[in-house]
Structure 1
Amino acid sequence: MARLPTVEDVAAAAGVSRQTVSNVLNSPAIVKESTRERVERAIAELGYRPHMAARRLRTRRSSTIGIHLDPYAGGISGVVLDRFVHALTERAGDRGMRIQLYAARSPAEEIARMGELTDGGEIDAVVITGTFHGDPRTRWLAERAVPFVAFGRPWGDDDVSDPAHLWVDVDGAAGTRAATEHVLAVAGPRAAFLGWPVGSGTGDDRERGWREAMTAAGMAGERLSCEESVGGARTVAAELLARDPDVDGIVCASDSLAIGAHLAAAAAGRPTLPVVGFDNTPAAEAIGLSSVEQLPEQVAAGALDLLMGPSGNAVDPRPAAAGEAHVLVEPRLVVR
């Protein structure tokens, strides 16, 4: 078996002292940038991994980030969060950090679990998902000064210039704007939108992108709504096609809604009606539907950058300063 690289090996490869390597690993801010980059290159080339147990004893940190594991609810679009958690785990491991999954069935239960983990010193920070208006989890974390970042913006009046906390999100409006522009270009001016009931921050953001694209084109389309359900979307889309058989396409807030709309179009004798989803799930790919790809791997990288810095290996969150407390990932439209 090949010998694992040591701190001494890294120091020799980088042409620095053992203490300098230790400083790069534990206090990178005190190391000259050019030296830090040289040491980081040597670490990457050698595949060096700090001994986690010794590091935890030395720094009195757990080197662990907690994240809530959403309960399995079936459906289609949950694969996005699965990809996010996988990417977060992989990228955290590259920085010498671990991910601790915990389960909870409600925000109150999640707060209780976060309290147990932070009080017990089992985690250094938290990543929360599925933020919403008035989210009690973010308030609880902020009041207790627990470092955290949210996958999902605070949904305040101005989350960029007056941020409530660190957050990373996908620009849903940019995604549906691109989807709508595609439908207008390839099909015609009558592009409808099928989203969720008003009041969902994510859903309202995705609707905004459709409205902006339609307004820019001088068009006005019909807005449809239903809960996240293939069956519900099929019913709503079938009703639209029955009263307006000349609609040119449908932009949807999720792949589940898009699949329902596609089934309705096929049943109405319009199997080639352009329908665009959101999430780019394997189900949409299998059916051949265009969809907006969220790029959860970039979201995971952004979350860790906010919590640890671009190259840090310990939790050191940046302040929630105007314009610097967020990473907004622009999704890409996958046309099929």
Structure 2
Amino acid sequence: MSGMPTVDDVARAAGVSRQTVSNVLNSPEIVRETTRERVLDAIDRLGYRPHASARRLRTRKSSTIAVRIDPWRDGISGIVLDRFLHQLTEQADRRGLRVMVFSADDHADELARIRRLREGSDIDAFVLTATTHDDERIRALTDQGVPFVAFGRPWDPETRAVPHRWVDVDGRVGVAAAVQHLRAHGARRVAWIGWPHGSGTGDERRAGWEAESGLGDRERASLSRHTEDGVTEGTRCAGELLALAEPPDAIVCASDSLALGAMIAARSAGLPALPVVGFDDTPIAAAVGLSSIEQPLDDVVAAALELLFGPTGDDVRPNPSSDEEPAHRLLAPRLVERRPGHLALDAIPGT
């Protein structure tokens, strides 16, 4: 076979008709699973790519999903969304889909921009990020019938009552596993540095620390700090903790930005091997030897696209109704432990 593979090439390789190949690409739910797997295997082997432009003209669909990019914060925390967008673009491309990014000042501005994009027939579906308490976007898009999936769970009863698709990473489980690991290696006073109360994501991560810290109420209050995200803030909070009469023997943080600050404070205090764990496993964490909790962003994106478009294909599904099966995925992160910046506790003199 020379040149780019065609639908006929795939049909011959899979031993099926041309229409069956088309059905697998466009309406996979009507094809028997064994046949579908055979066709998908042939597509992978041959490297077949559907002609997305022709299909867009035929179906009058844009085959485009859109996602808002947040205002730039610091270079560490912003990397998480960058990685998410890269994964979304790559996986969408494999389905013949395109990704459009747009900016907005706040939720109200985001909704206005979504409305304009929909009116211009430019977008088939949207991905919401960074869900919050009383998130007005979820109710508004559901009421308007705009297909979407949220990267972030609903954080309050009112929002949970609105049927919608979402994918999230279980921060509580991730932090709890990190604290369990530290305690198993000898830590007795694991401190917490997180965001101000009211952040759904931050509160969930703190809950994992509280559940596994083994500390009483008074000790938890003494060994926890809450601040806005940032390296400087992490340094300040860790400095306060290390100056206590009974300082912590390990610190877990809600983000890599805070953890990097805690690492700096520990080194300044003459404790370069003090275990510090961040969250998000950003490239800076790998560069400086910072242990961190990794979000499985490739799995997050795969789940989001499957919820929107089904296991394969690029036909967007309507928003769920109240009697549909729960349309969400909650994924577990994993601890990435690094050395020499974080030696085992039993290797630290005096522990």
Shorter-normalised TM-score: what interval? over 0.9
Partner of 2:334: 332
User: Scaled by the length of structure 1, what TM-score is found?
Assistant: 0.93
- Mean Cα displacement is larger for which, 306-315 or 296-305? 306-315
Distance 1:322 1:178, change over 3 A: farther
Q: Which residue of 2 aligns with 1:264?
A: 265
Structure 1 residue 178: Cα displacement:
1.1
Q: What root-mean-square deviation, in Å, do the aligned CA atoms of Structure 1 and Structure 2 show?
A: 2.2
Give distance in 1, aligned partners of 2:280 and 2:242.
Answer: 24
Q: Which runs of 5+ in 2 are unaligned?
A: 339-351
Residues 96-133 of structure 1 deviation map (CA, whole Å, 9 limit, x = unaligned): 11111112122122111111111111111000101101
Task: State the alpha-carbon separation in 2 of the partners of residues 22 and 43 from structure 1.
Answer: 12
1:151-166 matches, within 5 Å, as: 151-157=151-157, 164-166=163-165
Query: Identity across aligned pairs (percent)?
Result: 55
Within a 5 Å distance, the mapping from 1:186-265 to structure 2 comes to 186-215=185-214, 220-221=219-220, 222-265=223-266
Say if 1:188 and 1:322 are closer, same or farther in 2 by CA, change over 3 A. Answer: farther
Superposed displacement of residue 262, structure 1: 1.3
Q: Which amino acid is the alignment partner of residue 3 of structure 1? A: G
Aligned-partner Cα distance in 2 for 1:148–1:11? 33
TM-fit CA distance, 1:228: 0.4
Assess if the C-alpha contact under 8 Å between 2:66 and 2:127 holds in 1. yes
Maintained 8 Å contact 2:189/2:213: no
Contact 1:230/1:259 (<8 A) preserved: yes
Deviation at 1:70, TM superposition (A): 2.0
Partners in 1 of 2:319 and 2:144 — Cα distance? 17
Return the alpha-carbon distance in structure 1 between the equivalents of residues 303 and 318 of structure 2. Answer: 12
Is 1:79–2:79 an aligned residue pair? Answer: yes
Displacement of 1:24 in angstroms is: 1.7
Q: Which residue of 2 is the match for residue 303 of structure 1?
A: 304
Aligned to 2:135: 135
Mapped to 1, the partners of 2:239 and 2:34 lie a distance apart of 62
- State the 1:219 CA deviation: 10
**What is residue 344 of structure 2 aligned with on the other side?**
none
Asked if 1:147 corresponds to 2:147, the answer is: yes
Counterpart CA distance in 2 for 1:107 and 1:82 is 20
Name the aligned partner's letter for residue 128 of structure 2: I
Equivalent residues in 2 for 1:275-314, closer than 5 Å: 275-314=276-315
Task: Sort the Cα spacing of 1:97 and 1:216 in 2 relative to 1 into closer, same or farther, 3 A.
Answer: farther
Partner of 2:42: 42
Partner of 1:65: 65
Mapped to 1, the partners of 2:116 and 2:35 lie a distance apart of 40
- CA displacement at 1:33 relative to structure 2: 2.1
1:154/1:165 contact within 8 Å kept: no
Whether contact under 8 Å (2:139, 2:162) holds in the other structure is no
**Whole-Å Cα distance in 2 between the matches of residues 65 and 279 of structure 1?**
25
Letter of the structure 1 residue corresponding to residue 53 of structure 2: A
Call closer, same or farther: CA 1:313–1:322 in 2, change over 3 Å: closer
Question: Cα gap change, 1:158/1:305 in structure 2, threshold over 3 Å: closer, same or farther?
Answer: farther
Aligned-residue offset at 1:156: 2.4
| DSSP 3-state at the match of 1:243 | coil
Which amino acid is 2:148 matched to?
Answer: F
CA distance in 2, matches of 1:168, 1:96: 22
Decide whether the 8 Å contact of 2:163 with 2:320 is kept in 1. no
In the alignment, which residue of structure 1 is the partner of 2:275? 274
Contact conserved, 1:67 with 1:99, CA < 8 A, in 2?
yes
Q: Deviations over 1:229-287 (max 9, x none)?
A: 21112112111211235321111000111111111111112121111100111212222
In the TM superposition, what whole-angstrom CA distance separates every residue of 1:177-232 from its partner, at most 9, and x where no partner exists? 01111221224211111100000000000001111112499995322111102111
Runs of at least 5 residues in structure 1 that lack an aligned partner in the other structure: none
1:164–1:207 distance in 2 versus 1, CA, 3 Å: farther
Tell me how many residue pairs correspond in the alignment. Answer: 335
Q: State the SS of the aligned residue for 1:153.
A: coil
SS class of match (2:243): helix
Q: Distance in 2 between matches of 1:206 and 1:328?
A: 14
Aligned to 1:108: 108
- What is the deviation of 1:12? 1.1
SS of match in other structure, 1:84: helix
Residue 163 of structure 1 and its aligned partner are, at CA, apart by 6.0
Mapped contact 1:302–1:327 kept (Cα < 8 A): yes
Rounded to whole Å, the distance in 2 between the matches of 1:42 and 1:216 is 57
CA distance in 2, matches of 1:198, 1:158: 19
Secondary structure at 2:287's aligned position in 1? Answer: helix
Residue 203 of structure 1 aligns to a residue whose secondary structure is: helix
C-alpha contact (below 8 Å) 1:306/1:318 kept by paired residues: no
Moved more, 261-270 or 199-208: 261-270
